[in-house]
Amino acid sequence: MISFVWAEDEAGNIGYQGKLPWHLPADLHHFKEKTIGHSMVMGRKTFDSFPGILPNRQHVVLTHSLKFKEKYQNDSRVKVFTNIIDLKKWLNKQVNDVAVIGGASLFKELEDEVNILEKTEIHHHFKADVKMIPINYKKFELIDKQAHHADEKNKYDYTFLTYKKKLN
């Protein structure tokens, strides 16, 4: 099962200068909940945005950089692919759930493979330079929605949405 796990603002923005445009601890916790124990598929820029290798998750990175591949060739926590064809072959062999976490070009490449959407909507507008790809929500059914208000830890209202791909 392939999931997309991401957060976006009201304008569909997902990134700014290689980072998230916001700080929302509840979303970071939600992200951890949805990815822990699973392989996370990402582009190199998304990988570079992390403070380091996240615990209890395999990092699967798509990059054209052979230097990057060399750097992590002996690190079992990081699997590197240098082309989308090999990544898709690997995905097709997976028996465990896989979370695709960005960036936008990787979401675009895998949009036909996704089964579950784990979306955090942040009810605010942020300055950004990366937008989420358009998703055809008609192909999905909303199966869970949890709305939350801003609080002392989370500065913005936000909603967790889970969609499952329709069978037909």
Domain borders along the chain are 2-165
Percent of the chain predicted with pLDDT > 90: 99
Average pLDDT on 79-92 reads 97
Task: Categorize the per-residue pLDDT at 147 as very low, low, confident or very high, splitting at 50, 70 and 90.
Answer: very high
Half-sphere exposure of 33 (CA within 13 A, CB side): 10
Q: Which amino acid is at 24?
A: L
Q: Which amino acid is at 101?
A: I
Question: What tens digit of pLDDT does each residue of 93-143 get?
Answer: 999 999 999 999 999 999 999 999 999 999 999 999 999 999 999 999 999
Q: Which two tokens stand for residue 4?
A: 């997309």
Pairing state between β 2-9 and 98-102: parallel
Superfamily of domain 2-165 in CATH is: Dihydrofolate Reductase, subunit A (3.40.430.10)
DSSP collapsed to 3 states, 53-66: CCCCCEEEEECCCH
